[in-house]
Structure 1
């Protein structure tokens, strides 16, 4: 059985590292498309001494506009993330590309959301 250890953060000082990584990313890449930014608990890349999963604070950059895939790709290329590391998911007509990395020692997830094209029911094949 795998246990999960969550960090106890009771004050804002517990997320200073995340804020620093955010400022570093935005300052270094101010010309890139603006993402929707959230800070959330994510699974750390390491495990605790008992082999359990460790949660840590990380960043998520989401892209939702009609340019979401282009915006996602610009960030992916700029951060030097291998295209083979990108995951694809979909449900119904909604889909996304997602990749996990780290920036300034902080876990970072990039996700580009888009709508799948629907076949026109009036068209014949």
Structure 2
């Protein structure tokens, strides 16, 4: 029985794509970029890709969405406990990417000042 050993070198495509993306788009806000094994449609195994989280700014989420070429019609929305998020998948330089944008839901009651 053979067990595949994953090494850091399997992440090089994802790291290279992130470096290329950030070099080509220095105007992007500082999202939290990390690298994860992501599911890719049409492939059985997961592959290393970029995971980007943007906090408290839907306009910054939109900028990242455009750069990652994520179709707006494929964005999912969800909420839990007063926090909401948008998420979608795309790719950059042939590397899969997941984008999540977290934001606070507005209060139901108006401020009484």
TM bracket, shorter-chain basis: 0.7 to 0.9
Match of residue 45 from structure 2: 54
In 1, Cα distance between equivalents of 2:5 and 2:97: 20
The runs of 4+ residues in structure 1 deviating greater than 4 Å are none
The answer to whether structure 1 residue 32 and structure 2 residue 4 are counterparts is: no
How far apart are residue 8 of structure 1 and its match? 4.1
RMSD: 2.0
Q: What number of residue pairs does the alignment pair up? A: 109
Taking structure 2 as the reference length, what is the TM-score of the superposition?
0.84
Matching of residues 9-88 of structure 1 within 5 Å:
9=6, 11-47=7-43, 53-64=44-55, 66=56, 68-88=57-77
- Alignment equivalent of 1:120, drawn from 106, 109, 112: 109
Q: Which runs of 5+ in 1 are unaligned?
A: 1-6, 48-52
Residues 106 and 80 (structure 1), Cα distance of their counterparts in 2 relative to 1, 3 Å cut: closer
How far apart are residue 31 of structure 1 and its match? 1.2
Q: Which runs of 5+ in 2 are unaligned?
A: none
